[in-house]
Amino acid sequence: MIRIMKFSEVAADEIFARVTPEVNVEEIVSGIIANVRQNGDRALLQYTEKFDGVRLSTLRVTEDEMKEAIAYTEPEFLRILERAAENIRKFHTAQVRRSFIINDEEGVVMGQKVIPVDRAGLYVPGGTAAYPSTVLMDAIPAKIAGVREVVMVTPPMKNGKVNPAILAAASVAGIDKIYKVGGAQAIAALAYGTESIGKVDKIVGPGNAFVAEAKKQVFGQVSIDMIAGPSEILIVSDENSDPRHLAADLLSQAEHDRLASAVLVCNSEELAERVRDEIELQLSSLEREEIARASVDNNGKIIVTDSLMKAIDVANEIAPEHLELCVDNPFDYLDRIRHAGSVFLGRNCPEALGDYLAGPNHTLPTMGSARFSSPLSVDDFTKKTQYTYFTADALRKVARDVEYFAKKEGLTAHARSAVIRLEDQK
């Protein structure tokens, strides 16, 4: 049963604390990456058989498999995928940055080019659940950014095929290549390349602890979006919210993973007790009851504060992945929120709306990293190159200043490279 606590009884850094298994993930992942680098596709096929229980002859999803998946998918789901994709495109198109040029001083031109990466790799989880929503959220910003080739990796099902819903989403999003491989081995393949899978410039997408650790270890060889931990939700509520709605929203994250964290911070002890009872009532109706119960019992909390302002302070201190403001006049509090991955305003905006249909991205910073990082966006798939042009006359005006500055740093060759041109001009 979820715990009810007074704010004074728990430190902020313990609010999203988790009960985690003691496994040497770092060492295991390091070995997997080394094996993939050495043995390529052979290692990928061996790990797929070992971890997924599937013996494959090839890794790439064929055109026939794509057509079969589309034919298998319900028309209503295809319609919803298209609607979600439209909303995601609309939101992320507004994020596109433009190159710029500055030419307000005679003889000087400066500028910045915004350039998409050449190849992006998307990791889409497959383990305890399939996530076609992640396909849309990760691929569409890459396509908007102008990435030349978008590659997806995802674990196969027991029949050796990829979940049809994932392939349908990949078709809607316009993904170029899809491979049946998951786990740390998939990340290694994207980072270093194998006979079948070309190496990419950027890897994005959530995964389990092994996937997160693999992304951490290959960073530098490639760019990554973030080191994502288990899902988390923080709900800040006043006393006027419906306890059924709050319980449902908490459980929507708890069912993701046994390590997920669902936390309510409210200013009413009576509401806290009613939400606790509702959670118990609703748990029994969930298909993933066992997972959700483990999450709630081990990592869930209801924290009672003296005021809403104190609850807002708690939210800023722990920087949650998802933050719901279930309060009257939620926009009055929005400017006070400084650290959160994605904010859901009001009593009619469940976090699940953001997972699937609203448009803002659902790949979000976790474990307090919203203090310094952002949701996945078009920016994640671009890089910037700057350029500078000076005429001889323009250089003459600043060369002595460059020389002086360089000598202050003891770099006489720097200094000479500027003033030597003055000698040539004479």
- Residues catalogued as catalytic: 321-322
Which residue carries 């298994």 as its tokens?
21
Q: Alpha-carbon Rg of the chain, whole angstroms?
A: 25
Query: Using CA atoms, how far apart are residues 207 and 187, in angstroms rounded to an integer?
Result: 10
**Where would I find the beta strands (DSSP E) of 52-191?**
100-105, 108-116, 119-123, 149-154, 177-180
Query: Using CA atoms, how far apart are residues 140 and 381, in angstroms rounded to an integer?
Result: 11
Question: How would DSSP label each residue in 1-14?
Answer: --EEEEGGGS-GGG
Element (H, E) at 369: none
Buried b or exposed e, range 199-226, using 16+ CB within 10 angstroms: bbbbbbbbbbbbbbbbbebbeeebbbbb
- Extract the tokens encoding 126: 């497959």
Contact 295, 332 (CB under 8 A): no
Helix ranges (DSSP H) in 53-104: 63-72, 75-93
- Extract the tokens encoding 276: 């606790």
Strand partners, 154: 180
Query: Using CA atoms, how far apart are residues 418 and 351, in angstroms rounded to an integer?
Result: 57
Cβ neighbour number for residue 181 with a 10 Å cutoff: 30
Query: Using CA atoms, how far apart are residues 195 and 261, in angstroms rounded to an integer?
Result: 40
Strand partners, 264: 235, 302
**φ and ψ at residue 186, rounded to 5 degrees:** -65, -40
Query: Using CA atoms, how far apart are residues 271 and 104, in angstroms rounded to an integer?
Result: 61
**φ and ψ at residue 230, rounded to 5 degrees:** -60, 155
Helix ranges (DSSP H) in 203-288: 209-218, 243-254, 269-283
Query: Using CA atoms, how far apart are residues 384 and 112, in angstroms rounded to an integer?
Result: 7
Give the DSSP letter of residue 371. G
